Amino acid sequence: MKTQEAVSKIISLLKGDEVVISANGFISRELHDTGDSERNFYMIGSMGMAPSIGAGIALNSKKKVVVLDGDGNVLMNMGALATIGNLKPENFIHIVIDNGVYESTGSQKTVSPTIELENVAKAAGYTTTVKAETIEELESALVSEYTGPVFIRVMVEAGKREVGRVQVSPEEITERMRKYLS
């Protein structure tokens, strides 16, 4: 599975009224490429913070929050797993697209191949954790409607494609998300 396929599959299975928070780098670019929407919060910097931002929303909104994270990102802020596992927001789905590399900076290796990230999340208190190695497993995890916090680790191939940068300004992303959530 490629990152593009994983992101497209995830977005195609949403109902439409969710909030989607995407990690910096190619994950935000891929999300943007599936079609821009006011429900998307593209995090272009602040590496590691996507689940923290998502949990801050999930605790204060009835909407379902879907976080599109990466392995490098989640490894940078593993403390967030502890906080989220403790607070247990039910409307929170944390999807880690794991390609084993820091793709945006030149595909340097991450340590994710030696870490069972889904088990880290389970130990931290996530209610359901899944490792999806095929598109069918990803789909099955997404349509199961588990009560959150859910953690889905999606194994994808390394290798980026040409995909444009996010074209919405940070201030615009903020303003439209506030409006969307109000």
Partner 1 sequence: MVDTGEFLAKLTEKGFNFYTGVPCSIFKTLIRKLEQEDFKYIANTREDEALGFCTGAQLAGKKPVMVMQNSGLGNSINILSSLDLLYKIPILMLISWRGETKEDAPEHWVMGESMTKLLDSIGVPYFIFDSLGDVDKATTELEETGKPVALIFKKGSLE
Interface with partner 1 (CB under 8 A), residue from 6, 27, 31, 55: 55
Tokens 């299975």 correspond to: 13
Please tell me the distance from the alpha carbon of residue 14 to that of residue 92, in angstroms, as a whole number: 13
User: Which of the ranges 9-17, 29-37, 74-82, 130-138 carries the binding residues for partner 1, by CB under 8 A?
Assistant: 74-82
User: Which of the ranges 7-15, 27-35, 46-54, 147-155 carries the binding residues for partner 1, by CB under 8 A?
Assistant: 46-54
According to DSSP, residue 135 is labeled H
119 binds partner 1 (CB under 8 A): no
Alpha-carbon separation of residue 152 from 45, 134, 164 (angstroms): 23, 12, 26
Taking the complex as a whole, the smallest distance from the CB of residue 171 to partner 1 amounts, in Å, to 5
Give 6 or 173: the residue with its C-beta nearer to partner 1. Answer: 173
In sequence order, the β-bridge partners of residue 62 are none
Determine the 3-state secondary structure of 40 from DSSP: strand
127 near 146, Cβ under 8 Å?
Answer: yes
Q: Contact residues for partner 1 (CB under 8 A)?
A: 21, 41, 43-49, 51-61, 77, 79-80, 82-83, 87, 170-171, 173-174, 177-178, 181-182
